[in-house]
Amino acid sequence: MRLGTLMPFEQVPEALAFFTQVGIGKETARRVTERMGEFIVEIETEEADRLEREAPAAPAGPPVQQVSVDGAMVPLVGGGWTEVKTLAIGTVEADKEGKAHTTALSYFSRLAEAERFYPLAELELHRRGTAHAGTICAIVDGADWCQGFIDVLCPRAVRILDFPHAAEHLASAAHAVYGPGTSEASEWLGVHLHELKHGDPDAVLAALRALPATTTSDAGQAARTRDGVLNYFEKRRDQLNYAQFQAAGYPIGSGIVESANKLVVEARLKGSGMHWGRRNVNPMVGLRATYCSGRWGELWAAAWTRFSARPRRALRERPMALPSPATSVEENRSAQPASKATSPPREPLIRLERKGLAQNGRPTKDHPWRRALVSRPRPAKIPSAGAKS
């Protein structure tokens, strides 16, 4: 199950057999892994509902904490795509050079609408003591749901517009006016990106207003792009004080959540040929966030308790056929020709208990894991040179 969290399901049987000499099929690996993910989602949902209902006191938070949210797209069975939202939280410290560095990262990911994601993600904010953190640096891009997340859950945070995101908007205005890749655009950007990061953002806004849209053949489109960027920045003027933020020791980029998109979501759910059933996305990102946050042991114990209490028959009777578009995951469809015969799936681990190889979820003395490896005969000792025969 942990292997299924880390690698494609078709790779799990070989890896498990290599380390444990126990054989299972790909479908067993998929089914059991996703079921454990469902239990983790259930546990976290229940905890989030309890938090909303009882409002227990939050633990202490760090002096400076970073909170960032963003989304990553996941391919679905049938050719569609959907967005998985991710929250990344970390403790801000100064590195050896005195620059802000965010450590002790943890994550929460879900496929959910913003209104549902907010109360679910609040569980991770509570666990990390965000309510009692000294300063909260909320670094996000300009997406409405990201800004809304801060409005609802971190209203006292210092809001910072992700600097690379701001730089992209400024570049779009320069390219619209001067043309992409032109020396004029590069020169203008070089000057004003430096000013935006280290100087006065009002000076950058003034330069943006003064951009001459008539330098391009499509003056109307250039003017609309320039004015759109200007309006975007003016609405977020308080989030552009990058020189002040850096002087206070705050980070100005949301790299922790962009890395989380790759680490938690894309590394496992966007492999070659992978397409996911919608209902299986949350179990997998729940497992991934648990693992990448270093909380595997904590949540695994609770999930395993539920898994062990589930009737064996109900688990065995889950469909063994290839998953359907509405319910399950489809991985690497083109990895093997359809005409090539495949071996039948091996016996699921849960049947070992019937054979006396497991009891209460633990291997007995006759289980393959407990058997001593057969000792190989020791090679005859080769006499050293000069030894007497």
Q: How do the domains of the chain map onto residue ranges?
A: 2-55+283-363, 64-162+241-259, 165-240
Q: Is 346 exposed, middle or buried (0-12, 13-18, 19+ CB in 10 A)?
A: middle
Q: % helix / strand / coil in the chain, to the nearest 5?
A: 50, 15, 35
Confidence (pLDDT) at 340: 43
Q: Hey, what are 303's tokens?
A: 């999930």
253 CB contacts (<8 Å, ≥6 apart)? 139, 162, 163, 164
Rounded distance, CA 250 to CA 156, Å?
A: 15
Tokens of 198: 């280290």
Q: Which of 134, 137, 130 is nearest to 157 (CA)?
A: 137
pTM: 0.78
Alpha-carbon distances, residue 210 vs 107, 217, 370 (angstroms)? 42, 18, 76
> How deeply is 247 buried, as exposed, middle or buried, from its count of CB atoms within 10 A (0-12, 13-18, 19+)?
exposed
Mention every residue, 6+ apart, whose C-beta is less than 8 A from residue 128.
61, 65, 89, 106
Looking only at the bridges linking them, the beta strands covering 358-359 and 362-363 are antiparallel
For residue 358, the model assigns a pLDDT of 67
Tens-place pLDDT, residues 217-226:
788 899 999 9
Query: Mapped to the 3 state alphabet, what secondary structure does 198-253 carry?
Result: HCCHHHHHHHHHCCCHHHCCCHHHHHHHHHHHHHHHHHCHHHHCHHHHHHCCCCCC
Confidence at residue 370, expressed as pLDDT on a 0 to 100 scale: 60
pLDDT at 213: 81
- With a CB cutoff of 8 Å and minimum separation 6, the contacts of 336 are 342
Q: Give the model's pLDDT for residue 368.
A: 63
Name, in order, each residue with C-beta under 8 angstroms of 236's C-beta and a sequence gap of 6 or more. Answer: 142, 159, 161
Gap between the Cα atoms of 74 and 278, Å rounded: 10
Per-residue model confidence as pLDDT tens digits over 99-153: 899 999 999 999 999 999 999 999 999 999 999 999 999 999 988 999 999 999 9
Distance CA 45, CA 59 (A): 20
Rounded Cα distance, 272 and 158, in Å: 40
- Residue (of 47, 31, 11) closest to 284 by Cα position: 31
* CATH class assigned to 64-162+241-259: alpha beta
DSSP string, 72-115: EEEEBTTS-EEEEEEEEEEEEEE-TTS-EEEEEEEEEEE---HH
pLDDT in 10s for each residue of the chain, 389 residues? 789 999 999 999 999 888 888 888 899 999 989 999 999 999 999 999 999 999 999 999 999 999 999 999 999 999 899 999 999 999 999 988 888 999 999 999 999 999 999 999 999 999 999 999 999 999 999 889 999 999 999 999 999 999 999 999 999 999 999 999 899 999 999 999 999 999 999 999 999 999 988 777 788 899 999 999 999 999 999 999 999 999 999 999 999 999 999 999 999 999 888 999 999 999 999 999 999 999 998 887 888 888 788 765 455 545 544 444 444 444 444 333 344 444 444 445 455 555 666 666 566 777 666 654 444 455 555 455 444 44
- Burial of residue 80 (number of CB atoms within 10 Å: 0-12, 13-18, 19+): exposed
Residues 6+ apart with CB under 8 A from 167: 193, 196
Beta pairing class for 100-110 and 81-94: antiparallel
Cα–Cα dist 255/115, whole Å: 24
Q: How far is CA 18 from the centre of its chain?
A: 28
Q: Which of 362, 289, 287 is nearest to 2 (CA)?
A: 287
Provide the pLDDT for residue 314: 52
Which two tokens mark 261?
A: 């998109």
Question: 159 Cβ partners below 8 Å, 6+ apart?
Answer: 138, 140, 150, 236, 238, 239
The pLDDT score that the predictor gives to residue 338 is: 40
pLDDT of residue 23: 86
